[in-house]
Amino acid sequence: MRRTALAYRNALNHASIVAFVGEKISQDMKLQRLVSKDLRERFGLPAQMACNVPRQVAAVNKTLWERAKAGATHKAKGWTSPAL
């Protein structure tokens, strides 16, 4: 169990790097096409886990990039306090 959890974590890190380098990919199917072979071969993940990794990474990245965009908009409108 522990070995699978470590492989899953490493697979998440790998998919996250691929998503960031690949122009901030936040579409799970696009990311899955890019990393699915690596997730199965390199990390030895079962099929279901290999499908969950790009979905989870894409969802997290989409949320973070939406928050960053909203923060920039709020800062431009003067709705946020200046950084210390």
Question: Model confidence over 26-83: pLDDT tens digits?
Answer: 788 888 888 998 899 999 999 899 999 999 998 998 888 888 888 888 788 887 766 6
Domain extent at residue 31: 2-76
- Which pTM does this prediction carry? 0.75
What is the domain count for the chain? 1
Q: Per the domain annotation, does 33 fall within a domain?
A: yes
Q: Are 52 and 12 in contact (CB under 8 A)?
A: no
Instruction: Note the Cα 66 to chain centre separation in Å.
Output: 13
Residue 22: per-residue pLDDT: 72
Q: Per the domain annotation, does 84 fall within a domain?
A: no
Q: Are 51 and 61 in contact (CB under 8 A)?
A: no
Q: Per the domain annotation, does 83 fall within a domain?
A: no
Residue 15: per-residue pLDDT: 93
Scan for tokens 């890019």, then name that residue.
34
Q: Per the domain annotation, does 82 fall within a domain?
A: no
Q: Per the domain annotation, does 67 fall within a domain?
A: yes
Q: Per the domain annotation, does 81 fall within a domain?
A: no
